[in-house]
């Protein structure tokens, strides 16, 4: 039997590289399946959603193999796989989706009805998402391969652009989903809450959708400096000046056409000593978004947060000013991104040099053995997107 290693969650702030089982063509219940493939992982990224689990802010069990952002080469085919071929280099949407249920047929693959007995929606290596083994590993199994996998048309070209194309698995379509649902279009003024990788992907997406100006708010000076260096207007949320005042200084009025929450439930209130306040981003976005505007919410919110300071937030209950959003006729768009809905056009934008997402999110390649340190650095707020290279296959950057 071939060997395999992966990033294993062992408790709050503790991950290790361990020997794990080589993947089998079977589902999490041990039933043999023929519609899957086994991939040699070429790249797999550390995501902010992974970080929530590693911090102990979810009910993730110990022993989980982490990782839902996977790009890989097909090394084994199930007998029912017809269109994916041996040797294909593929991008793997983080959603596990059957392609057959009502929601998948409607392109809402983030809430597939058949891959998770506990709730709608499945994902690799994530809490409450069906038990599918994660891909921060050397090898991983992907089910429903003909539906889920997207082969790159030119393998050599894709390898040269892998730092960009690895973002197709999650953060780029997630940022794009947030921008689309916020109604970003030609000439829009846009505010993105959060200058982490998803926030930067949302900002990049707003620009290719035609935004006139994109502002990015954060409390981390390194991330704000990076946002400015790649062309966005930074807003420092530790300043005494309110968010409305800082926006007015840039666009002339204290409102925007579209707003995107790329922070989620571990948000902190504004100011130098901001305390955790899980609804603060949502409330601030209702304040600054124009009447009849939209708020895209790709930031993660959970049904259970054992580490929450507020008792209500432990079960996902937030102190929202929903009346304000109702009075302004806001539209709110939430939930897991249906990656397959966007990936072809985003792939083409990368391949034709319209979207240098690796530079925008500051992609930083590390080895599998360096993944635990990557988690620590990311947790400290490094202005980087860590890309794990399990087999040393990613070409050196120019």
Residue 112: inside a domain: yes
What does the alpha-carbon distance between residue 52 and residue 88 come to, in Å, rounded to a whole number? 32
Instruction: Enter the tokens of residue 112.
Output: 């597939």
Answer whether 124's CB lies under 8 Å from 36's CB. Answer: no
Q: Which CATH number covers residue 189?
A: 3.40.50.720
Q: What share of the chain is helix, strand, coil (3-state, %, to 5)?
A: 30, 25, 45
- Choosing from 285, 304, 333, the residue where a domain stops is 333
- Note whether 117 and 39 are same-domain residues: yes
Say whether 312 sits in a helix, a strand or coil.
helix
Into how many domains does the chain fold?
2
What does the alpha-carbon distance between residue 319 and residue 120 come to, in Å, rounded to a whole number? 25
Other beta carbons less than 10 A from residue 28's beta carbon = 15
- Note whether 130 and 183 are same-domain residues: no
Q: Which domain holds residue 284?
A: 177-333
Does pTM top 0.75 for this prediction?
yes
**By C-alpha distance, which of 394, 317, 373 is closest to 46?**
373
Burial (CB count within 10 angstroms: exposed 0-12, middle 13-18, buried 19+), residue 117: exposed
- Note whether 249 and 286 are same-domain residues: yes
pLDDT in tens, the chain (398 residues): 589 999 999 999 999 999 999 999 999 999 999 999 999 999 999 999 999 999 999 999 999 999 999 999 999 999 999 999 999 999 999 999 999 999 999 999 999 999 999 999 999 999 999 999 999 999 999 999 999 999 999 999 999 999 999 999 999 999 999 999 999 999 999 999 999 999 999 999 999 999 999 999 999 999 999 999 999 999 999 998 999 999 999 999 999 999 999 999 988 888 777 788 889 999 999 999 999 999 999 999 999 888 888 899 899 899 999 999 999 999 999 999 999 999 999 999 999 999 999 999 999 999 999 999 999 999 999 999 999 999 999 998 75
- Note whether 47 and 74 are same-domain residues: yes
Token pair 């709608």: residue: 120
Residue 398: inside a domain: no
Residue 395: inside a domain: no
Token pair 């395999």: residue: 4
């Amino acid at each position: 039997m071939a060997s395999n290693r992966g990033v294993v969650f062992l408790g709050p702030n503790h991950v290790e590289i361990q020997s794990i089982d080589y993947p089998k063509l079977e589902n999490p219940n041990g039933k043999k399946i023929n519609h899957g493939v086994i991939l040699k992982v070429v790249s797999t990224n550390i995501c902010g959603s992974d970080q929530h689990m590693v911090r102990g802010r979810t009910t993730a069990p110990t022993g989980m193999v982490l990782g839902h952002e996977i790009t890989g080469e097909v090394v084994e085919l199930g007998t029912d796989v017809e269109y994916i071929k041996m040797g294909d280099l593929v991008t793997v949407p983080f959603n596990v989706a059957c392609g057959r249920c009502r929601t998948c047929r409607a392109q809402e693959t983030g809430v597939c009805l058949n891959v998770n007995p506990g709730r709608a929606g499945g994902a690799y290596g994530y809490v409450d998402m069906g038990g599918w083994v994660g891909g921060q590993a050397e090898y991983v199994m992907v089910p429903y391969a003909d539906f889920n996998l997207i082969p790159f048309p030119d393998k050599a070209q894709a390898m040269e652009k892998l730092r960009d194309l690895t973002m197709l698995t999650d953060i780029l379509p997630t940022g794009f989903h947030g921008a689309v649902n916020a109604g970003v279009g030609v000439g829009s003024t846009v505010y993105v809450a959060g200058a982490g990788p998803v926030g930067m992907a949302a900002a990049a997406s707003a620009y290719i959708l035609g935004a006139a100006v994109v502002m990015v708010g954060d409390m981390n000076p390194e991330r704000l400096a990076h946002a400015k260096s790649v062309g966005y207007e930074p807003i420092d949320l530790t300043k005494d000046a309110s968010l409305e005042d800082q926006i007015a200084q840039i666009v002339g009025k204290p409102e925007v056409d579209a707003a995107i929450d790329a922070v989620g439930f571990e948000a902190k209130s504004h100011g130098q000593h901001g305390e955790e306040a899980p609804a603060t981003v949502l409330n601030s976005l209702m304040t600054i978004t124009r009447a009849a505007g939209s708020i895209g919410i790709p930031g993660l919110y959970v049904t259970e947060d054992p580490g929450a300071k507020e008792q209500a937030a432990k079960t996902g209950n937030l102190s929202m000013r929903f009346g304000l959003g109702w009075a302004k006729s806001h539209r709110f768009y939430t939930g897991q991104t249906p990656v397959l809905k966007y990936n072809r056009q985003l792939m083409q934008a990368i391949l034709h040099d319209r979207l240098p997402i690796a530079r925008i999110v500051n992609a930083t390649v590390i080895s599998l053995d360096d993944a635990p340190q990557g988690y620590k650095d990311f947790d400290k707020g490094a202005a980087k997107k860590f890309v794990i290279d399990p087999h040393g296959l990613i070409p050196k950057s120019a």
